[in-house]
Amino acid sequence: QVQLVESGGGLVQTGGSLRLSCGISGFSLYNYAIGWFRQAPGKEREGVACFSLFDGSMYYADSVKGRFAIGVERVGDNVYLQMNGLRPEDTAVYYCASETVSMVCSAMQAPDAARKFGHWGQGTQVTVSS
């Protein structure tokens, strides 16, 4: 059974950093793409970052390029989202998601990108104070 569990959210000041972790079980990272999404109150869920060991694809939203990094933890099958230079507009619930479809990361820009991912974690709150 595919399971994803996010952790690492919290409250941070503008300019600070947080490292989110997505603990995975029930599948191999070599067969699934992993995406990080976020949803702020009253807004649509948007794709933030994505990577796939399966087809080598990677994606970052323009709003986080140069500040966020996605990768695999050295220990355990966890995927992290390192967030630096945080801004108040980064405040949202962050979700990790997985999907087997090839090239799904290339679809992250689309408004309906979240619909392409079939497995989701419960989310973790990130709040950036000004």
3-state secondary structure the chain: CCEEEEECCEEEECCCCEEEEEEEECCCCCCCEEEEEEECCCCCCEEEEEEECCCCCEEECCCCCCCEEEEECCCCCEEEEEECCCCHHHCEEEEEEEECCCCHHHHCCCCCHHHHCCEECCCEEEEEEC
* Alpha-carbon distance values, 13 to 4, 5, 57, 83, 89 (Å): 27, 25, 32, 12, 12
Predicted pLDDT at 123: 97
What is the rounded CA–CA span in Å between residue 37 and residue 12? 19
CB 107 within 8 A of CB 46: no
Say how many CA atoms lie within 13 Å of 6 toward its Cβ: 26
What pLDDT shows up at residue 27?
87
Q: Which residues of the chain fall short of a pLDDT of 50?
A: none
